[in-house]
Amino acid sequence: MANPTVDEETPLLFESSGRVKRTPLPTWQLAIVLLILLCEPFTGNSIFPYINQAKLGITGGDDRKVGYYAGLIESLFYVTEAMTTLQWGRISDRIGRKPILLIGLVGNALSMVCFGLSRTFWMLVISRCLCGFLNGNIGVLKSVIGELTDSTNRADGFAYISVVWSVGATIAPVIGGSLSHPHERFPIVFTSNFWREFPYFLPSFAIATFSFVCLLITLLLFNEASNSLCLIQTPPYQNMHTLPRHHKQHVSAPFSGDDKPLPIHKLFTYPVVLSVCNYFCISLMDIAFFSLLPLFMSTPVELGGLGCSPATIGYVLGALGAYIGIVQIALFPKLVRRFGERRIFIMSVLTITINSLLLPVISGNIRKNGVTWMICCLFAFALSLRAVTIMSYGCIFVYVNTSSPNKSSLGATNGIAQTVVSVARAIGPGLATSLFALSLQKNLLGGYAVYTFLFLFSCISLLFAVRLPHQVWDKS
């Protein structure tokens, strides 16, 4: 029997069967991107176990005031990042992603060294501001992942962002809690007075060293993806020119020379605005809740906290990060393919609502009965819900990247999103920890005003979440 004629009009097998084969992820380039991303939670989360103890004589001995200053330090990075991240994104659309990533890594390393050498509160302020000004990496990295993936593997690619962030959240608090005050924890090795004068230099230097290693890897091995053919190869075809006409629409197209970056005012389309609003809401709630965790754990039992040491806080947050990372890599892509980004995102918002009701219940029971096994179980359950909360980021990353008016404006679109989110993350820690401290000092709503705010804002966020389309923007 003669073979049937096969030409460019012949339908492909996977199209006729109604199934689209998933494109393999570009493993090597994606690994470098995720390694760079790891620097972000390292820089931000390593200070959580000891920032509440780094008072530097500004609280006057009143432990109830720690929340004000700890929240300010945690927020400063995001305040300064909000001022520059949009410009870093726009510049990356024009000169490429790699130079911006290198500048961000230099900023990470330099700021952490300054943080470790700080003797005063204002030196801590300057070091965190320096990190924010020089760092536009988060938004740029999301653009890179958007360029490395297509509609068939997008959920898998963006799932790794949350996984890597969780890995960083696992390791960074352990580094911060274990390596702080080395003259006390390792007196045989760290005998110099230097370690007494700078008790937080060792964890800061460890993070700075990692950023420097990532800088060298990026400089030598990272390849640009923008303004060139997509790095993803789709077997059995080797390039776009050999693909049949009806197959080209199913893979990531190369950037067009006529596809120029749009001015800022033309980027504020309905899909961009709605996606960014949802990103703002979930980020504000998540960073506020996460900032409360170490403060809640370090607060004395008589004030409704758990009374944990910095090392214990580091281990708990580290274990939480490991758990979240495992859940993300094992379940997130499957859940998205089964239920869709919208349903997962709405469920993630609901977990914040639940936790805002759980924490005051836990605190009230601690004040009456102390830390009991029931309290530990309730707190563990509240922490376990964060695995679902973190899934919201993978979902909203997809919405933001598919909302871009064109691919040459992808960096600017992510820059807008990261600017707004930086504002949220700047407001979140300071607002949450200050409300926590104010609630205790003034006994506002029985000391639980901060949880009331979190509950009300989560309800407002649900109104934005339900307006997202059932399919992401490029499919809607």
- What per-residue confidence (pLDDT) applies to 163? 80
Q: Is residue 6 part of a domain?
A: no
Q: List b or e across 35-57, with b for residues whose CB sees 16 or more CB atoms inside 10 angstroms.
A: bbbbbbbbbbbbbbbbbbbbbee
**How far is it, in rounded angstroms, from Cα 183 to Cα 280?**
41
Per-residue pLDDT of the chain (476 residues; tens, 9 = 90+): 445 455 555 444 444 445 567 778 888 889 999 999 999 888 877 887 777 666 555 555 555 556 666 667 767 777 787 888 888 888 888 888 899 999 999 999 999 999 888 877 788 888 888 888 887 788 888 888 888 887 777 777 887 887 887 778 778 878 888 888 888 888 888 888 898 888 889 999 999 999 999 999 999 998 876 443 333 333 333 333 333 333 333 333 333 344 677 788 888 899 999 999 999 999 999 988 888 888 888 888 888 888 888 778 878 877 887 888 888 888 888 888 888 889 999 999 999 999 999 999 998 888 888 888 898 899 999 999 998 998 999 889 889 988 888 777 888 888 898 888 888 877 887 788 888 888 888 888 888 888 898 999 999 999 999 999 988 776 65
Residue with the two structure tokens 């006729």: 16
Q: Is residue 148 part of a domain?
A: yes
Same domain, 393 and 449: yes
**How far is it, in rounded angstroms, from Cα 398 to Cα 161?**
11
DSSP codes of every residue in 138-152: HHHHHHHHHHH--TT
**How far is it, in rounded angstroms, from Cα 446 to Cα 364?**
9
Q: Is residue 440 part of a domain?
A: yes
- What per-residue confidence (pLDDT) applies to 305? 83
- What per-residue confidence (pLDDT) applies to 273? 93
Q: Which residues lie below 8 Å from residue 53, measured CB to CB, with a gap of 6+?
A: 298, 310
Q: Is residue 256 part of a domain?
A: no
Give the rounded distance of the alpha carbon of 176 from its chain centre. Answer: 18
Q: Is 31 left (phi over 0), alpha (psi -120 to 50) or beta?
A: alpha
Nearest-CA neighbor of 266 among 89, 94, 405?
405
Number of structural domains found in the chain: 2
**How far is it, in rounded angstroms, from Cα 386 to Cα 316?**
13
- What per-residue confidence (pLDDT) applies to 65? 59
- What per-residue confidence (pLDDT) applies to 405? 83
Burial class (CB within 10 angstroms; exposed 0-12, middle 13-18, buried 19+) of 223? exposed
Nearest-CA neighbor of 299 among 146, 447, 151?
447
Q: Is residue 19 part of a domain?
A: no
0.85 surpassed by pTM: no
Nearest-CA neighbor of 206 among 233, 248, 174, 250?
174
Q: Which domain holds residue 453?
A: 265-475
DSSP codes of every residue in 276-339: HHHHHHHHHHHHHHHHHHHHHHHS-GGGTS----HHHHHHHHHHHHHHHHHHHHHHHHHHHHHH
Residue with the two structure tokens 């601690």: 366
Q: Is residue 10 part of a domain?
A: no
Same domain, 273 and 217: no
Same domain, 460 and 409: yes
Same domain, 275 and 348: yes
**How far is it, in rounded angstroms, from Cα 449 to Cα 349?**
20
Same domain, 288 and 165: no
- What per-residue confidence (pLDDT) applies to 277? 94
Nearest-CA neighbor of 415 among 147, 175, 82?
82
**How far is it, in rounded angstroms, from Cα 303 to Cα 4?**
80
Burial class (CB within 10 angstroms; exposed 0-12, middle 13-18, buried 19+) of 68? middle
- What per-residue confidence (pLDDT) applies to 226? 47
* Whether the Cβ atoms of residue 418 and residue 104 lie closer than 8 Å to each other: no
Q: What is the CATH number of the domain that holds 167?
A: 1.20.1250.20
Chosen domain end from 225, 251, 279: 225
**How far is it, in rounded angstroms, from Cα 433 to Cα 440?**
11
Same domain, 50 and 186: yes
- Residue 115's identity, in one-letter code, is F
* Whether the Cβ atoms of residue 390 and residue 464 lie closer than 8 Å to each other: no
- What per-residue confidence (pLDDT) applies to 186? 85
Same domain, 277 and 216: no
**How far is it, in rounded angstroms, from Cα 413 to Cα 422?**
14
* Whether the Cβ atoms of residue 170 and residue 322 lie closer than 8 Å to each other: yes
* Exposure on the CB side of residue 71, measured as CA atoms within 13 A: 28
Radius of gyration of the chain (CA): 24
Same domain, 205 and 289: no
Chosen domain end from 225, 252, 287: 225
Nearest-CA neighbor of 55 among 144, 118, 141, 142?
118
Q: Which residues lie below 8 Å from residue 139, measured CB to CB, with a gap of 6+?
A: 85, 86, 88, 89, 411, 414, 415, 417, 418, 419
**How far is it, in rounded angstroms, from Cα 400 to Cα 397?**
5
* Whether the Cβ atoms of residue 230 and residue 148 lie closer than 8 Å to each other: yes
Nearest-CA neighbor of 208 among 145, 144, 127, 311?
127
Q: Is residue 183 part of a domain?
A: yes
